[in-house]
Structure 1
């Protein structure tokens, strides 16, 4: 794997995202995650996985907007259009995030730095999220680019903190810090010390229990509070692409990639 650095600590696998210089998620990240998540499910000696960023200031900054711009240009050149009347099948990003949610093993995000857009969507797909205390940005900021969170961000946020608060976050598109993420209910805790060490400790304590009750508890909790409505996820990814091929998204993504469009922070 080119972008994921792994190390074992007994039954716990530590995974570091490593895609310099920006720490973006892209197709290569997803290819690595697809292979890794399959291996985690197959390997009985792995009882839990912890994810963090190799860059001390970045978890996953967001999905690479240059890739999104290229996607938009390619789809527009082909005259592609999207509608809620014809929902799209899963893409590899949906398969990977869905596999994490359905895995019998806990997947834990140790958020050590910037985590927006697709990065936050990945963290929301995990079972537990711990955020390092500090001055960095989180958030579903896609609307500022003329699009929407298209890999479970709207659906999982709504399931986690309620539809009204999810709409507030996604409609405003403002970034926020880890303390706000905790107050909103998006992360389990904010850690003043070493967030990776904390997440690894939690993972080791879970791994000390028998695997079957861990699997069943995760399944029950997911069934109670995770998106079980596949149509909602299909609608989200379909309308994401519908927005991506519009003029506003193309113009805003181009401006962001050039550094001419700045994100705003959440107020209050």
Structure 2
């Protein structure tokens, strides 16, 4: 009984330690003062209005979101193909796609900058997209391969035998069975793309910026509650997305299938 109570107490202490920084950020974003402070000195939405009225922040949010989504769209078919079809050199290709897990992103960013220079893609959206596709591929690949079991392949063959075409088989047989794995991999991939600074900073410009690089450059010259407001907005978006996933798919299903 004492051991169980101790474990529960330790769990709550650890949870509070993890949640406290989020509370500080959200509180600091609502302060009425001109500098970061917690507890907040008054409550105001002014700093969120400053963030939304700044076109550079809106553009940075849009660029980061578009990069993450486009990288997932490019990576997912490759992950499914590697999980389903045998071909010569498959292990080498899989190992190459998994390599970003152990390679520093700053090295990948520098290499991508030099690589893009040969093709005139330096500091462009395409260059950023290639880099983000590289860093998200391991997450999508791991989740897709884990879901493509022999039983899954047998269900596909049964669907073909019953007269279904490839598109019908994919949407009605394959996708429902691997949905939780794809969502799990997509979440980690999206987070990895969204918070990346090391790779992105080599390929951004004043007009083409991602939100983490925008914040990195901003705090070098100015520290005010706008930073907390931007961080608070990302926290709220993450909470909303997780809540929607829990209501539609179920977080327990995602954890069981991943």
Shorter-chain TM-score tier: under 0.3
Q: In proportion to residue count, which structure has more helix? A: 2
Q: In proportion to residue count, which structure has more strand? A: 1
Q: Which has the larger radius of gyration?
A: 2
- Higher relative contact order, structure no. (Cα contacts within 8 Å, ≥ 6 residues apart): 2
